[in-house]
């Protein structure tokens, strides 16, 4: 499967590649062969980048799951958060080689959503959480607990896609957006929860356990 947002890129590069290959072979032109090879490489990369594999969330409904594929770069309590107070913050950095489809970490209702224009610092920079372009979703669980997850644009990523609107009921593990091309997702949880991951750990969206509600 491929993310629907990737189809325009897939179609464009596929057509360009076919045209350049046909032209270089028909005209027996080495001059056209070079851009044709480059176009093939770019087409393969676009297919790879927009892949969207199925994921199977764990059965335990108390588990909070990773919203993104990538590497954990932060797992600690912080005082400044979208929840308005101290919270456990877990940040996941996504390189251009990771799956970039984001998934809902826990089931609940969207009670707030905000978009902030900003800079495009390296997503691994600590200031990116507050200065970069980002999209924030605050979700309230069935038991009234609030969590927040934030898509953050990076140095190369310049396009955040987020489907939910305020009032939507989201299900743990379902797709809710993506970021093109490489970036970061922060998730904020109640401060009394214990992180099940640490910096350096690899995550799989919709499957890796970040924390657990008691």
pLDDT value, residue 182: 63
pLDDT value, residue 206: 93
Q: What are residue 33's phi and psi, to 5 degrees?
A: -65, -35
pLDDT value, residue 181: 65
Q: What are residue 179's phi and psi, to 5 degrees?
A: -130, 130
List the one residue out of 211, 178, 172, 205 whose CA is nearest residue 75.
Answer: 211
Give Cα separations from 207 to 53, 57, 76, 146, 191 (angstroms).
12, 5, 21, 21, 22
pLDDT value, residue 4: 79
Q: What are residue 173's phi and psi, to 5 degrees?
A: 95, -15
Active site residues: 183
C-alpha–C-alpha distance, residues 208 and 90, integer Å: 13
pLDDT value, residue 157: 55
**pLDDT tens by residue, the chain, 214 residues:** 877 777 888 899 999 999 998 888 888 878 888 888 999 998 998 888 888 888 999 989 899 999 999 999 999 999 989 998 899 999 999 888 888 889 999 999 999 999 988 776 777 777 777 778 889 999 999 999 999 999 998 776 567 889 999 999 999 999 999 887 668 899 999 999 999 999 999 999 999 999 999 8
**Rg of the chain taking only CA atoms, in angstroms:** 19
Domains and CATH numbers, the chain: 4-49 (no CATH), 63-212 (2.70.70.10)
pLDDT value, residue 26: 86
pTM, rounded to two decimals? 0.84
> How many Cβ atoms are within 10 Å of 54's Cβ, its own excluded?
6
pLDDT value, residue 185: 93
pLDDT value, residue 156: 63
pLDDT value, residue 131: 75
pLDDT value, residue 87: 95
C-alpha–C-alpha distance, residues 159 and 178, integer Å: 9
List the one residue out of 176, 136, 187, 182 whose CA is nearest residue 159.
Answer: 182
Q: DSSP characters for the chain? A: -B-GGGHHHHHHHHHHHHHHHHHHHHTT-HHHHHHHHHHHHHHHHHHHHTB-------S-TTEEE-SSSEEEEEEEEES--TTSS-EEEEEEEE-TTS--EEE-SS-EEEEEEEEE--B---TTSTTHHHHB-EEEEEEE-TTS-EEEEEEEE-SS--EEEE---TT-EE-TT-EEEEEETSEEEEEEEETTS--S--TT-EE-TTTSEEEE--
């Amino acid at each position: 499967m491929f993310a629907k947002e990737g189809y325009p890129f897939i179609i464009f590069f596929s057509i360009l590649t076919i045209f350049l290959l046909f032209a270089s072979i028909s005209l027996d032109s080495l001059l056209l062969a070079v851009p044709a090879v480059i176009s093939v490489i770019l087409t393969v990369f676009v297919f790879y980048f927009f892949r969207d594999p199925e994921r199977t969330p764990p059965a335990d409904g108390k588990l909070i799951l990773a919203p993104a594929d990538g590497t954990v770069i932060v797992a600690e309590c912080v005082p400044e958060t979208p929840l308005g107070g101290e919270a456990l913050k877990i940040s996941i950095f996504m390189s251009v080689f990771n799956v970039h489809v984001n998934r809902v970490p826990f089931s609940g209702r969207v009670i707030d959503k905000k978009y902030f224009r900003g800079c495009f610092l390296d997503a691994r920079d600590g200031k990116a959480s507050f200065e970069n372009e980002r999209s924030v979703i605050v979700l309230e669980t069935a038991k009234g607990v609030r969590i927040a997850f934030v898509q953050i644009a990076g140095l190369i990523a310049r396009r955040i896609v987020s489907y939910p609107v305020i009032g939507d009921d989201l299900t743990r593990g379902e797709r809710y957006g993506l970021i093109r091309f490489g970036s970061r997702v922060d998730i904020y949880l109640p401060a009394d929860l214990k992180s099940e991951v640490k910096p350096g750990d690899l995550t799989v969206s919709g499957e890796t356990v970040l924390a657990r509600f008691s």
